[in-house]
Amino acid sequence: MYRGFWYAQALDLDSDLAPALQESIQADVCIVGGGFLGLWSAIRLKQAHPEKRIVIVERDRCGSGASGRNGGVATNWWGKYLSLRTICGDVEARRICEAAESAIDEIGSFCAEHGIDAQYRKDGWLWTATNPRQMNSWRVLTEGLQKLDVNPFQELDRQTIRGRVGSPLVLGGIFDPNAATVQPAMLARGLRRVALTLGVQIFEKSPFTHLQRGKHPVVHTATGQVKAAHVVLALNAWGAQFPELRRMIAIMSSDMVATAPVKAKLDAIGFSGGECMTDSRTVLNYWRNTPDGRVVFGKPLGQFAYAGRIGNLYEKPSPAADKVAAELRRLYPQLADVPVVSSWTGPIDRAMKGLPNFGYLDRHQTVSYGIGFSGNGVATTVFASRIIKSLATHANDEWANCGLVEQKMKLLPPEPLRFFGAHLVRDALVRKETLEDHDQDAGFVTRQLVAMAPAGYVPAQKK
């Protein structure tokens, strides 16, 4: 199975494989999915309730799905504040953003406490403009945060930010010091090790086949089953196999490339810190370097999954690798001769507002879920696991009653409209944003299609 650059690197350091589930067992909580949300939730549940039998079933290896294939960019949610307040109001939005903010340090302290080498670097997030149309796209957000006296962003002049990014295209931007980069697969492998040490039972190479619902749910895998008091669905995009969750998300791709190590070149152009970087597009360019001097660059240009059926769609090098590499070289013409040595792709569970939803699958309240992280789950799964823990234990607390629980989400269209519409909207966005690079306006039809797009990583620009 093709998992990409990060996971191959992680397996060189730790290739341990848990046994597959081969029998029928009992559990207090069975978590389906061994990615970030599943692992953080298992750890939190086991630490709070060491007497409970916590089981994870994972189709491949823990962290081999979206968790081990992303950009390794750990940002908080102040950038999502405007969307969040439309869901749950100013007070709750602020509380959630503060919880998400604390997750950045929690990752670092957890790695230090448990000896996890996840290449954690808390060097912040540089949100940039790479054409004149993108300039000040952040103002609607930062001015709103300023009124609440919670604005973490620092505006940087062109010379300062260009010196830190190293790209001649950067015209300006803002900086949030509370963000980090990690090697995501090594973080997932470290979480897996800690979960096992705590006594969480993990079954790998145990693909989930179906869920028997009811007061006493049963998780069935290819060769076994888990009878549990409670089931947690921590499946990311794979959660779309459930009809109740399918229209909450569109399954799109994260497409990434990694260069050969060129640390001396990066140092020479100023691209030497550990910041995570984005521009201000909706079809986002996101990138960072690695401690050994590679550039890892991503853009969602690949494939959509039809009707929630993922199959082997993302188990291969990125089909959009040439386009992603071309965008990297456009931003960094100084790196034109640096070879791309790996490409990979993975699924993103994109929700309309770019924010996840949590809740119970049905009236029995024996199956809980979290879905819709929209490509921003490296840090947010840390505090989201608090919500899962509270739902799984039926705690009537601030997390079970969080504003993201059982929210009235705007659903995406049914198939085939969702699949074909996703292509039309994404292509229109790429067309519009490419024209803006040349200070040109998109046509009427393109603008109408763009208006239908889900919320991006950063707020929509205000003219």
Give per-residue pLDDT as tens, 335-352. 999 999 999 999 999 999
The percent of residues above 90 in pLDDT, for the chain, comes to 95
Q: How would residue 133 be classed by pLDDT, with cut points 50, 70 and 90?
A: very high
pTM confidence score: 0.96
Give per-residue pLDDT as tens, 188-210. 999 999 999 999 999 999 999 99
Give pLDDT, residue 463.
41
Provide mean pLDDT across the span 427-444. Answer: 97
pLDDT of residue 260 exceeding 90, the answer is: yes
* Other Cβ atoms closer than 10 A to 337: 8
Contacts of 197 (CB under 8 A, 6+ apart): none
Q: Give dist(CA 459, CA 424) in Å, integer.
A: 21
Q: Give dist(CA 261, CA 292) in Å, integer.
A: 6
Q: Which of 304, 322, 321, 301 is nearest to 313 (CA)?
A: 304
Give pLDDT, residue 454.
83
Mean pLDDT for the chain? 95
The percent of residues above 70 in pLDDT, for the chain, comes to 98
Q: Give dist(CA 49, CA 45) in Å, integer.
A: 6
Q: How would residue 457 be classed by pLDDT, with cut points 50, 70 and 90?
A: low
Q: What does the block give as tokens for 463?
A: 């003219």
